[in-house]
């Protein structure tokens, strides 16, 4: 996802975050973040959940894909900080299936 943003240019990412922030109705009306990324290091400091929102705003993800990636992010967090709701084999399969289909095999993320 970061390589795609790099290929499209940081301005594209920054503009998408600005556009989302300016919305006064609809899904993103409460989005209040605006990014001014100029380097890959800065991009890597953005929270994963924020990155997903901006990628949706850029049209690289649809709403369902974004929601599923949020679930993958939660699985990742639950794996790193286990509790009483264990991550089981079915969750791992779901995680890798979603990452593969939504990102790795998604034509919108192909680097040209």
pLDDT tens digits along 16-75: 999 999 999 999 999 999 999 999 999 999 999 999 999 999 999 999 999 999 999 999
- 75 contacts: CB under 8 Å, gap ≥ 6: 87, 91, 92, 94, 95
Q: What is the CA radius of gyration of the chain?
A: 15
- Rounded to whole angstroms, the Cα distance separating 75 from 82 reads 10
Q: Where are the domains of the chain?
A: 2-109
User: Helices 63-80 & 48-57, crossing angle to 10 degrees?
Assistant: 170
Contact in structure between 31 and 53 (CB atoms under 8 Å): yes
User: What is the overall mean pLDDT for the chain?
Assistant: 95
pTM score of the predicted model: 0.92
Among candidate residues 89, 13, 100, the one with its CA nearest the CA of residue 55: 13
């Amino acid at each position: 996802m970061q390589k795609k943003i790099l290929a499209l240019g940081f301005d594209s990412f920054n503009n998408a975050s600005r556009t989302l922030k300016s919305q006064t109705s609809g899904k993103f009306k409460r989005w209040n973040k605006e990014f001014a990324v100029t380097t890959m290091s800065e991009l890597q400091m953005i929270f994963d959940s924020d990155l997903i929102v901006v990628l949706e705003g850029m049209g690289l993800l649809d709403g369902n894909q974004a929601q599923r990636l949020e679930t993958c992010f939660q699985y990742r967090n639950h794996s790193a900080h286990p509790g009483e709701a264990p991550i089981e084999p079915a969750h791992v399969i779901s995680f890798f299936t979603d990452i593969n289909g939504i990102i790795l095999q998604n034509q919108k993320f192909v680097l040209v």
